[in-house]
Amino acid sequence: MKLKLNFLFFFLLSISILAQDKTVTGIVTSAEDGLPLPNVNVIVKGTAKGTSTDFDGNYTITLSQGNILEFSYIGFKTKNVTITNNNVLNIALEVDAQSLEEVVVIGYGAQKKADVTGAITTIDSEDIQKTPNSNVMQSLQGKVAGVQVTSVGSPGDSPSIRIRGVNSYAAGGTPLFVVDGMFYDNIDFLDSSQIQSVSVLKDASSIAIFGRRGVNGVIIIETNGGKFEKKPEITYNGYTGIQHAQNVVKMANAEQFVTMAYESGSESDIQFVQNAIERFGRSRINPNVPNVNTDWYNEVLRDATITSHNIAINGGSESSSYGVNASYFSQDGILDMKNEYERFNIQSNLDFKVSDRLKIGVNSIFSNATKYNPENGAWFQAYFAVPILPVYDYANTGADPIPFSDATILGYRGSQNPFPQMTYNNNQLKIKKILASVYAEYDLVPDKLSFKTSYSHDYSTIAERNVRLPYFISQNSQRETSSIRRANLTYSTQYWDNTLTYKDNFGDHSFKLLAGSSYGDEQTNSFSATGNDVQGIDLESSWYLNFADPTSFASQVNEIGDRFYTLAYFGRLEYSLKDKYLLNATVRHEGDAKFPKKIWETTPAFGIGWVISKENFMQNSNVIDFLKLRASWGQLANGQLGGSAGTRTVSQLTTAIGDTQTNGIISSSNFTDLEREILEETNFGISARLFNSKLTLEADYFIRDTKKLVVPVDQAIVSNTLLVNAGEMRNQGLEIAANWSQPINDNWSFSVGGNIGTLDNKVTKINTDQGYYDTGSAEFRQRLMVGEPVNAFYGWEIDGVYQNEAQVAADPTAQYELTENNNQLVPGDFMYKDQNNDGKIDADDRVVLGSYLPDFTYGANMQVSYKNFDFSVAIAGQSGNEILNRKRGEVLFTNDTNIDADFAINRWHGEGTSNDYPSSEGRRKGWNQKMSSFFVENGSYFRVQNIQLAYTIPSKLVGGKNMPETKITFTADRPFTSFSYNGFSPEVANGVDRQTYPIPAVYTVGVNIKI
Amino acid sequence: MKNLKQLLKPLALMLVAFMTIVSCSDKLEENDGQLSADDLDFTASEDMILPLIGAYSETYSRGWEDPLLIGVRGDDVNAGGVGDAQGGFTNADLYNYDNGYWMYNQVWENFYGDITDIVNSGETILKYKEFASGDYVNLADQYIAETKVLSGFQHLQMSRLWGDIFIITNSNVSTDIDNGVDTKEEVMLYVSELMDEAIPFLADMRPNERTDVPGGVTKYTALAIKALANLELENYQAVADITEEIISSNKFSLYPDFYELFKKPGKLSNESLFELQFSDYNTDTGSTNNHLYAPFGPSSWTPAVSTASGGWGFYEPSLKYIKFMIDRDDETRLVTSVCFTPRGIAEIMLDPSYSTLPSYISNVTPDGDVFNDYTRAMFASGKHYLPSNQLTPGRNDYGSSKNFNVIRYSEILLMYAEALTHGATGTIMTADQAVNIVRNRVGMDPISGVTTDDVMDEKFAELGMEWGIRYFDMIRLNKYDELSYEGRTFTAQDELLPYPQAQLDLLPLE
């Protein structure tokens, strides 16, 4: 009876509370250390009403119904508290050891982090949002051991990502991106502010389930969606800033250039200088120099803006959850022409519980971008353009419409001035991507057996419009007729995935079984047409093919396309015994139309783990909280290569027969008939948490072999390369990541972390008697040879510079040159190392000069928080890679052009002046232009990646209104880089630097508001 | 039981999904977006001309470096821009060979790429022939014979440059490569025999008389190439016999205006046995099929049509050639072969024996284009020059729409004459007569009692700057003293180019 009364009492009480619209406030702390917990979800149980704690753990909630508050926070046990009369409710949440071992997203599912046996690294969304960039991947630079990110400077372009070295030579290094379950090769449509988490799957056993597209690693991205039973939240994120070119290469100025021209002894070059003096007058400072001193890089560069806005709303009720957002990004390029990128995205993630057993959902992104591509040739031209040429030449009266200068007027072979290209070319790309997926998930046996089917379609179009305006600068630099090229590229990728998942426990055994199929259809199509002599070309409104001369289309209309289907069946077992002994096993059976020789391929993978910290003998350790040893092995079949025809193909061409354009056909003499590359990897790892989880440590060692390595092989006698299964390659390395985070007191906390990844890449087998394959160009040779890194730079080693005649006379190789090749070497010429000591310098003296792959990449970060201030610094770098400075090497093709100041200053110009650089005269001689160690430079760099200061204004009640939480940030991205390479940037993805869009430093101010 | 029923629906759905997927698997056999060579409709006999046109297209679309490297070593031509860019090109002119220089490999690949494509075209036509009937069978034989002529011509050019080369007989080149290189003699014999194979099937007419493929090869093109191969073999009686066969056909005659022969009016003349054809189709826009003549052009000029583009100044007629022509007072051919700059004229006059020059030597061409001074060269090649007033309006590229003369009837006459001076017998005319036909066209007085040297002088005057004819004549006759000019020293080991380094890296070559 008493019990009933009590019940009644409570019942009445709760009604009275409901009736009263009670307001409850309090602070939520961690039971372990008593520190306040921000962002704890506080909801009124059974309703959609809720809030979250602010930075100091405070919350305020008004209840109109219900009497139980639920406090939930990642890593802590959820706590339900019944409201009493007390208006203040302070809560201490207890750490949930189980959930602390956070969940990691893996292929077609999720796994407890403690159960993972492969190498997976997860990056915080906060770290990603610190980087002001159009591309999410840029923010990964220096963050993940073993992941090399090479930045790009051109707006809207994607950085190149290399995970664990070069896994495939021919397929490139782009990893597979899995965004909310959908597969992409390129995620330039994704806005950084929408990222919830990024996981990098590095080892083969983790990737195995993805099969053909995952060979270069898999990056799984989850975007911000809603949550069931979450109060609505509106956030605004935005920043704006400027970009400024860094480390601009200093070029020889007019005086240095003229000095070198005279030293070269080349009559024509001296004449050109005289011509410049005649045309532009003499410098008053040095009368031997023309009165022009153009710093071409300075002319073509500009400071540029960058802006981003994003607004997002998310939340959820009992049976539905939603996340919708709109974002805008715009960036101008630092090349002074129409060069910019602008993107507008709308995105929605919706999930519905249709019944207890059926859940459905839809994810969609529409990304609409406009990009104006730079004329990258301008960088190349700015390097070579002589400083004695001005940008404008008002004496060039024939020029129309703008009196640009032209080096051919001075006698040079090329017109050199980059401005005509930059001014009269316009390269617009309209990039539209529609990415949509739907899924349905049905629990056949609740909590045990479920079936999921999902269908996704990634449809992208790029509408290119390249406009070429007519101009006249000189006979050698003119465009007689205007032209417009339109190209429509469409990419359509569809996947239909079905999976059946069964999980169960029997005593100490717990397991999860997955069986699935994936059906893919990939189409690409490119249609282009070019028309000339466009009416009204001066107006952008008439930049349509309609206004071009219709007779000009002949032979200028092209269409190519292909469509390939894939089908795969896969299965996975996750098993754990007493949460101590772990086993994961995967198998994938995959069919791919690109490989007619062998359509089907089966690849297995497995991983084992031992959680030592769960053993009895470790239970009492004060230091070690968690320790796991991991080992995995797996195979991957690479399906990312282009379709191999398996047969000779036919193409059309035209030729003039009796002044009539006549068409014919030619059939290829060769064809590719490839088998898939097979990647085979063994990975050993340790995961540990020490000192009350203040220190986390992950270390992995991997050995990764690429079998049936596909290489484009130069064909004998003809100018043609063919993809061939040519050999084997090995990448191995060690990756270590450590992080220490510690709250000091109520006001202060700090964390510091670092990571390093080493890489040892070498070719282990070549399937020819020769033992090597040549790559690169004939003049700038690269080679694949056993025992050496892939695509190693290959040439002669410089042994110094001849200082005097006696030295030349005493050198047998120089004497051989004279008697056999009639080549008189002189002081200022290179001395090459006679590797085989046969008294002559020839092809047999070539050696490996270096590799474009770094020996190691590293990154570190430090974060200090004081009250509402957060300050963070990240650094990154790499070491041990070489860059081929092709800009210098191209003197081979045109040698009357300018050179960088480093060369001009350090050149040999008399005995003892240099033992590294040739003379100005020598620079022009074939002997000194050979592919040599002179052109191969150290590409190591160290960079301050990101500095950010943030101040948070906590949510407050001001004048009865709830002021939203606001965070203000000041960011300097890539403000400082140190390197010795003679170029704009040491970040050259393939190591060959001919022209590189410089990487700007970015300075921004940002605001983040949460309502 | 109830549970089972509940399960039935989703299970049925899964079954449908599974069946759909399995039925998709036949898509894995598809290769969308490619046209396999085996998928051509070989029963459509009227299409058998397409691979033939393809073979012509490959032959015509010569890299710009091909005629330059082939011609530069003669004493008629110097490399433009000495001490300037392209040192390797200059060094080739000076007989200092650097096998790593890119041009060697480029030329090698250009020719061999064409050869494999041409052989491939022949094989494709053969497939058409299998399904052909009636006249198409003969036509297929003719087309296949034409591909043999084109292949023979390119083998000849290759072997002249490198001597021992691979003979390519099959589009799958691996067997031919495994067989190793053949000696220059074997290659020339092969070319000669290949022409014999082709001749019975070829049209018995001048190239410009053909209506199906105007300017395509005929029996006489094959005979001319056979004659060239036998000339390399110094098989002079054969040269006499073959050239006599061409002469006696009475189909060929010299184009009356030597200057215009190399311009638009001379396209596909009655003098032409083989010519690379190009055109801008007389339209100001749209695609063209042009040769890149810019390397031959002046880097500074004032053309009569002011917008006409100049060139790169890479190919400079030698002082030796110019003085030789002045000495002979060979006005027409000198004015046609050489474009002068003021600096060049001054350079000639530096030599006291040439202090006064004939009035026809001028930096203004007969069509009014003014060649200005430029550092790269003192002279430009006139045979590779198209007057600016002959350009199609709107087309400003140097030499746009100009054909590239390859084998002319005058060369046939002079080969005949040379063979006779070496003791071969010919019945149709004497060596004197043959030489004088050539001289007569350009207003040169007849000569008599011609010797081999006289014929060589005539070839020098008539064929200078064309396809290295002069150089290959001199090395055939071991006239190293002629090639040792303007500071050069030529020795026997300089005759052939070294194999390109890139090919040495790829092939079992020594």
Partners of A822 on chain B (C-beta within 8 Å) are: 94-96
Q: Which residue of A has its CA nearest to B307?
A: A475
* Cβ <8 Å between B85 and A659: no
* Cβ <8 Å between A926 and B87: yes
pLDDT tens digits along A274-305: 999 999 999 999 999 999 999 999 999 999 99
- Residue of B28, B310, B502 with shortest CB distance to A591: B28
- What total of structural domains would you count in chain A? 1
B-proximal residues of A, 380-409, CB under 8 Å = 398, 408
Partners of B92 on chain A (C-beta within 8 Å) are: none
Residue A401: inside a domain, yes or no?
Answer: no
Mean pLDDT score, A976-991 = 90
Q: What is the CATH number of the domain that holds A65?
A: 2.60.40.1120
Residue A985: inside a domain, yes or no?
Answer: no
Place of tokens 């090479």: A150
Cα distance between residue A944 and residue A859, in whole Å: 10
* Cβ <8 Å between A718 and B112: yes
Residue A25 structural domain? 2-96
Residue A18 has pLDDT above 60, yes or no: no
Q: Which residue has the higher pLDDT, A591 or A745?
A: A591
The percentage of chain A sitting over the pLDDT mark of 90, rounded to a whole number, equals 55
Set out the domains of chain B in order of their start, with CATH numbers.
Answer: 42-202+482-498 (1.25.40.890), 294-380 (no CATH)
Task: Name the residue among A997, A946, A1009, A1007 with its Cα closest to residue A341.
Answer: A997
* Cβ <8 Å between B299 and A926: no
The percentage of chain A sitting over the pLDDT mark of 70, rounded to a whole number, equals 95
pLDDT tens digits along A371-383: 999 999 999 999 9
- Supply angle C-alpha A336, A339, A340, rounded to 5: 130
* Cβ <8 Å between B279 and A561: no
The pLDDT value given to residue A413 = 79
pLDDT band at A101 (very low <50, low <70, confident <90, very high): low
Name the least confident of A106-120, A673-687, B46-60: A106-120
Task: Answer whether A131's CB lies under 8 Å from A973's CB.
Answer: yes
Using CA atoms of B99, B103, B109, B112 in order, give the dihedral in degrees to the nearest 10.
-90
Place of tokens 């796994």: A111
* Cβ <8 Å between A566 and B21: no
Whole-number CA gyration radius for chain A: 33
* Cβ <8 Å between A895 and B58: no
* Cβ <8 Å between A481 and B284: yes
Instruction: Tell me which amino acid residue A438 is.
Output: V
How much of chain A is in helix, strand and coil states, percent to nearest 5?
Answer: 15, 50, 35
Cα distance between residue A150 and residue A159, in whole Å: 5
- Residue of B27, B51, B83 with shortest CB distance to A665: B51
Whether the bond between A401 and the residue before it is cis, its omega within 30 degrees of 0, is: yes
B-proximal residues of A, 565-584, CB under 8 Å = 565-567
Partners of B146 on chain A (C-beta within 8 Å) are: none
Q: Which residue of B has its CA nearest to A591?
A: B28
- Residue of B54, B97, B284 with shortest CB distance to A665: B54
Residue A480 in contact with partner chain B when CB distance is under 8 A = yes
pLDDT tens digits along A245-281: 988 999 999 999 999 999 988 888 898 999 999 999 9
Partners of B300 on chain A (C-beta within 8 Å) are: 408, 411
Partners of B29 on chain A (C-beta within 8 Å) are: 593, 596, 599
Residue A529 in contact with partner chain B when CB distance is under 8 A = no
Partners of B401 on chain A (C-beta within 8 Å) are: 659
- pTM of the predicted structure, to 2 decimals: 0.84
Partners of B162 on chain A (C-beta within 8 Å) are: none
Residue B305 in contact with partner chain A when CB distance is under 8 A = no
Residue A274 in contact with partner chain B when CB distance is under 8 A = no
* Cβ <8 Å between A551 and B88: no
Residue A843 in contact with partner chain B when CB distance is under 8 A = yes
Q: Which residue of A has its CA nearest to B217?
A: A657
Cα distance between residue B309 and residue B395, in whole Å: 9
The pLDDT value given to residue A670 = 79
Partners of B500 on chain A (C-beta within 8 Å) are: 778
* Cβ <8 Å between B282 and A659: yes
Q: Which residue of A has its CA nearest to B278?
A: A656
Long-range (24+ apart) CB contacts under 8 A made by A768-773 are A768/A726, A770/B505, A770/B506, A772/B505, A773/A711, A773/A713, A773/A714, A773/A726, A773/A727
Residue B6 has pLDDT above 70, yes or no: no
Residue B173 in contact with partner chain A when CB distance is under 8 A = yes
* Cβ <8 Å between A593 and B38: no
Task: Answer whether A73's CB lies under 8 Å from A92's CB.
Answer: no
Q: How far apart are the first and last CA of chain B?
A: 83
Residue A419 in contact with partner chain B when CB distance is under 8 A = no
Residue A338: inside a domain, yes or no?
Answer: no
Q: Which residue has the higher pLDDT, A22 or A295?
A: A295
Q: Which residue of B has its CA nearest to A499?
A: B14
Residue A425: inside a domain, yes or no?
Answer: no
Q: Which residue of B has its CA nearest to A268?
A: B375
Partners of A212 on chain B (C-beta within 8 Å) are: none
Over the range A186-212, which residues count as b (16 or more CB within 10 Å of their CB) and which as e? ebbbbbbbbbebbbbbbbbbbbbbbbb
Residue A979 has pLDDT above 90, yes or no: yes
pLDDT tens digits along B409-465: 999 999 999 999 999 999 999 999 999 999 999 999 999 999 999 999 999 999 999
Over the range A81-99, which residues count as b (16 or more CB within 10 Å of their CB) and which as e? bebeeeeebebebeeeeee
The pLDDT value given to residue B21 = 64
- Residue of B30, B394, B504 with shortest CB distance to A565: B30
Task: Answer whether A939's CB lies under 8 Å from A986's CB.
Answer: yes
Q: How far is CA A1004 from CA A131, A195, A339, in A?
A: 10, 20, 20
Residue A846: inside a domain, yes or no?
Answer: no
Instruction: Tell me which amino acid residue A679 is.
Output: L
Residue B169 in contact with partner chain A when CB distance is under 8 A = no
Residue A59: inside a domain, yes or no?
Answer: yes
Residue A689 has pLDDT above 50, yes or no: yes
- Predicted-complex ipTM score: 0.91
Å between A419 CA and nearest CA of chain B: 20
A-proximal residues of B, 398-437, CB under 8 Å = 401
A468 phi and psi, to 5 degrees? -120, 110
Å between A844 CA and nearest CA of chain B: 10
Partners of A266 on chain B (C-beta within 8 Å) are: 83-84
pLDDT band at A579 (very low <50, low <70, confident <90, very high): confident
* Cβ <8 Å between A655 and B277: yes
Residue A17: inside a domain, yes or no?
Answer: yes
The pLDDT value given to residue B255 = 97
* Cβ <8 Å between B286 and A563: no
Torsion sign (Cα): B336, B338, B344, B347: negative
Residue A17 has pLDDT above 70, yes or no: no
- Residue of B87, B289, B500 with shortest CB distance to A924: B87
The pLDDT value given to residue A442 = 92
Mean pLDDT score, A23-39 = 79
The pLDDT value given to residue A748 = 87
> Does an H or E element contain A635, and which?
strand A624-638
Mean pLDDT score, A80-101 = 72
Residue A517 in contact with partner chain B when CB distance is under 8 A = yes
Residue B17 has pLDDT above 80, yes or no: no
Residue A923 in contact with partner chain B when CB distance is under 8 A = no
Torsion sign (Cα): B417, B423, B424, B425: positive
Residue A13 has pLDDT above 60, yes or no: no
pLDDT tens digits along B119-151: 999 999 999 999 999 999 999 999 999 999 999
Q: Which residue has the higher pLDDT, B113 or A91?
A: B113
Residue A177 in contact with partner chain B when CB distance is under 8 A = no
Residue A35: inside a domain, yes or no?
Answer: yes
B-proximal residues of A, 823-842, CB under 8 Å = 823
Across the A:B interface, residue pairs with CB atoms under 8 Å apart total 301
Q: Which residue of A has its CA nearest to B106?
A: A719
Mean pLDDT score, B372-381 = 92
pLDDT tens digits along A507-558: 899 999 999 999 999 899 999 999 999 999 989 999 999 999 888 887 788 8
- Residue of B38, B55, B116 with shortest CB distance to A718: B116
* Cβ <8 Å between A442 and B10: yes
Residue A367 has pLDDT above 50, yes or no: yes
